[in-house]
Amino acid sequence: MLFVITGVPGSGKTTVVLRLVEILKRMGFSVGGMYTREVRSSGSRVGFEVVDVASGVAGTLARVGHGSGPRVGKYLVNLKDLEEVGVRAIESASMSDVVVVDEVGPMELKSRRFKEAVEKLLATDKPVVLTIHYRASDELLEEIRRVVGGKLIVVTPENRDRLPLELAERIKSMLKGDARVG
């Protein structure tokens, strides 16, 4: 079952996912995958990190101006860390009850290996929670939108506080018959 979360930048997509992960873990489920977080310096955003949900291992997803890699806006994408941390986390999440990927966005889509890992998730029968950039365009994003058939979960100020628990309850009801969980 695929849950796809979207919303404008700053709407709380990552916060919803991180709270969802906490709730699912408290319920006794294993959660794998990756999320991204901003890196700030002196109050300004200077980049992003990619973090393995299960291990907490972090790498640099993108930084302003220095290094090598594809450019997205003012950021240079670090494909090495994206693949060694993010893609590896998605691939190893096959052993988890639930997989999360925050986010399938312009930076992450620069990696062929990332796209392949997410495509494999679309074929799994386990609960998968993806966040997608609200306006990015890519064949993979179009496929994700097609698979969910317009049932995108849009994060707003009105629903962002209740979404993590609502999603956790939906996932719990899907998994409760699974022999691997209590």
Q: Give the model's pLDDT for residue 176.
A: 83
Range of the domain at 169: 2-175
pLDDT digits (tens, 9 = 90+) for 103-157: 999 999 999 999 999 999 999 989 999 999 888 889 999 999 999 987 899 999 9
Residue 23's pLDDT band (boundaries 50, 70, 90)? very high
Q: What is the mean pLDDT of residues 51-65?
A: 95
- Residue 113 to residue 18: CA distance in whole angstroms: 24
Q: Would you give the DSSP letter of residue 45? A: E
In a domain, 180, yes or no: no
pTM score, whole prediction: 0.92
Structure tokens at 90: 């998605």
Q: The CATH number of the domain where 49 resides is what? A: 3.40.50.300
Q: Give the model's pLDDT for residue 181.
A: 43
Where is the binding site for ATP, in residues?
Answer: 7-14, 98-105
- Residue 6 to residue 27: CA distance in whole angstroms: 25
Q: 37 or 177: which carries more pLDDT confidence?
A: 37
- Residue 16 to residue 53: CA distance in whole angstroms: 14
In a domain, 143, yes or no: yes
Please, what sign has the CA dihedral across residues 88, 90, 95, 100?
positive
In a domain, 168, yes or no: yes
In a domain, 182, yes or no: no
In a domain, 63, yes or no: yes
Tally the domains of the chain.
1
Q: Answer yes or no: is pLDDT of 179 > 50.
A: no
Q: Give the model's pLDDT for residue 46.
A: 94
Q: Give the model's pLDDT for residue 13.
A: 94
Residue 31's pLDDT band (boundaries 50, 70, 90)? very high
Which element (helix H / strand E) includes 140? helix 139-148
7 neighbors 154 (Cβ within 8 angstroms): yes
Where is the binding site, in residues?
Answer: 7-14, 98-105
Instruction: Name the least confident of 73-77, 95-99, 146-150.
Output: 146-150
